[in-house]
Amino acid sequence: MLHSLTIHDFVIVERLELEFGSGFTVLTGETGAGKSILVDALALVLGERAEAAVVRQGAQRAEISAEFQIEDAGALAQWLAAHELAGDEGACLIRRVIDSSGRSRAFINGVAATLAQLREAGEFLVDIHGQHAHQSLLRAPSQRELLDGFGGLNETVARTGDLYRAWRRRCDDRAAFESNSAAIDAERERLDWQVKELDALGMTADGWQSLVAEHGRLSHAASLIEGAQHGLDALAEDESSALTQLNAVISRLNGLLEFDSGLREVLDTLEPASIQVQEAVYSLRHYQQRLDVDPQRLRAAESRLDAVHSACRKYRIEADQIPEVLERSRVRLAELDTSGDPDALKRLEAEALAAYRAEAAKLSAGRRKAAQKLGAEVTAGMQTLAMTGGVFEIALEPLPEPASHGQEHVDFRVSAHQSMAPQPLAKVASGGELSRLSLAIQTVTSRVAQVPTLVFDEVDAGIGGRVAEIVGKMLKQLGRKHQVMCITHLPQVAAAADHQWQVAKSSSKTKVASRVVALDADQRVDEIARMLGGVKITETTRKHAAEMLGTKE
C-alpha cells in the first residue's frame, strides 16, 4: 500500500510530505484548494505524461516521491528483481523529476527507469478512478477492457491477440505469394545457385584458416625442408654440432668433479640442456620426415583459394563468413520452398485461424461468465444508489470478422426503470445516472482488483442525500480489503472515512500555496460542519456533523 507521498514545487504545492495508513481515507476542502493535485501528482509518479506547466511558478523543477509497502514474495517484488530494480525488503520507492523545460527523469529504488517501467510498476500498486471515469463507459474499448479485467481474462486477451496477428501474417504471406510469385521464383533460383556454389567450397567454421595454413606450408615446403636440415646439422649431425660439443663439455666436467664439487651446479644446468637439445633434434627430424614437396597438392590448395576468393567477391563477403552466409541462405531457401507451395500456404493459414478461433472461443466463454456476474452485481448496486428497478446487463454481439480482441463486441446496456428494455448507455443514461452507475461498476470491479491501493477522485459528483451516505458505506466496506482514498465534497462520504485530510489554499502577494492537514476528531467535526453548512457554521451544523461522525460505523 501507499506509505508516503512527498511533493516539491508541483503546481501550487511548494512542499508537502504525507504519510498514509490503511483503511478508508478522504481528502476534503473547498473548491480550488488543490485536492485533485494530489491525485495528479500520484499519477505522474506512476508514469503519466508530464508537461513543463506542472512545475511551480518560479521553481526549476518539480519532484514527486512515493514510497510503497510491498509483499516480499509478491508479484511486484518478482517484477523488480527481474528488471534489476529491487530495493529494500518490503519497500518500493518511486521518484519522478520534471524540470522547467518539460524534461522528465524517473527512478525506481534509486535506479534510473523509463516511463514504461513506472507504468508497469504502477499497475501492481494503484488504481486511480478519475472524476470523469464515467465518460469512458461510453466507449466500446473501455467497456471491453473493464469486463476482461473483471473476469481475469487479460492473459487470454493477450494470447488471442498474438494468435490473431500470427494468422494475419499467414494471410499476408499467401497474398504476397499470389501477387509476387515471379519475384519469389527468381529469389529461390538465385538462392539455390548460391547454396550449391558455397556448399561446394566445403568451408567449415575453421576451414578458411586451415586452408591458408596448408597453402602456406605447401608453397614453402622446399624452404621448410632446407631449414629443418640446417637445424639438424647445427644441433646434431655436423662434427662440430652443438650437441656433440655440449656432451663433450659435460663429459670433461664430470671427470673433474671429484677434484671440485663446485662443478656440480654447472653440470646440473648442462645435463638438462643436453636432454632438451636431443628432444629438439628428435622433433625436428620427425617434422622433416613429414614434409614433402607436392606440386599437385599445392595446385589443389591454390585452386581452392582462388574459388573462395572468387565467391567472396561475387557475394561481397569475407572468407570466414561463408559458413554463416550458407546457413542463412539454406534457411531462407527452405522458407521459400514452403511459401512457394500455395497448398502449404493455405494449410498454414487455416491452422493459424483455427488456433486463433480456439483461443477466442475460450475468451468468449470467459466473457459470458464474467458478463453475467458483473451484470448481476452492478444491478444489485444500482438498487442502493437511487436507481431502484434499474437493470444493468452486458451484451456480447458476434463480429462478422475475427478481431485482435476476440470474436464479439462488448456493449454495456442499462435500464433505469423496470418497465424499460436495456439500451446502450449513451442512449438512455443521464449525467447523474451515469455517474452513479460508474460508481457501482467501479466498486464491484475494485473488489476483485489485485492492487492494494484504490484512489477515487470525486467520482461521487452528482449525487447527494441518502445515496451519498450509501456511497460512503460502500467505500468504507471497500477499505476493509484495500487501502482506499477518495477526494469528496460530500459530508456523508467524508463522515464514513477512517481518516480525513483537509486540503487548503493560502495566498500572498507573491505566491499561492496548497497545504494538507490530517484532522483529529474535533477538527473533523469542524470540517464536516463546513461541508454541511457552507460559510457560516452554526451550532446546529456542528451538532449534525458530530452525529454523522458518531454513527459512521
Q: What backbone phi and psi angles, to 5 degrees, belong to 22? A: -80, 180
Nearest Cα neighbor of 451 from 19, 16, 42 is: 42
Nearest Cα neighbor of 160 from 409, 410, 408, 405 is: 405
| pLDDT (0 to 100) of residue 118 | 92
8 A C-beta contact, residue 221 and residue 291: yes
Q: Torsion angle, CA of 536/538/544/545, rounded to 10 degrees?
A: 50
Q: Span 1-129+449-514: which CATH code?
A: 3.40.50.300
* Distance separating alpha carbons of residues 358 and 351, to the nearest angstrom: 11
Q: Residue ranges per domain, the chain? A: 1-129+449-514, 186-338, 520-553
Cα angle 209-212-214, degrees, rounded to a multiple of 5? 105
Q: pTM for the complete prediction? A: 0.59
List average pLDDT for each run of 10 residues in the chain, which is 553 residues long. Answer: 91 87 89 76 89 88 93 84 89 93 91 92 82 66 88 94 95 82 78 84 73 63 63 74 81 81 83 84 74 62 75 81 84 75 86 96 96 93 83 94 95 83 75 71 76 78 78 87 88 92 77 81 90 78 88 46
* Distance separating alpha carbons of residues 43 and 291, to the nearest angstrom: 79
* Distance separating alpha carbons of residues 77 and 81, to the nearest angstrom: 6
Q: If DSSP codes are grouped into helix, strand and coil, which group holds residue 229?
A: helix
DSSP state at residue 53: G
| pLDDT (0 to 100) of residue 552 | 47
| pLDDT (0 to 100) of residue 109 | 93
| Residues whose CB falls within 8 Å of the CB of residue 51, separated by 6 or more in sequence, listed in order | 102
* Distance separating alpha carbons of residues 23 and 503, to the nearest angstrom: 19
Q: Which amino acid is at 11?
A: V
| pLDDT (0 to 100) of residue 128 | 80
8 A C-beta contact, residue 425 and residue 413: yes
Q: If DSSP codes are grouped into helix, strand and coil, which group holds residue 270?
A: helix
Q: Which amino acid is at 296?
A: Q
Cell of 546: 458530530
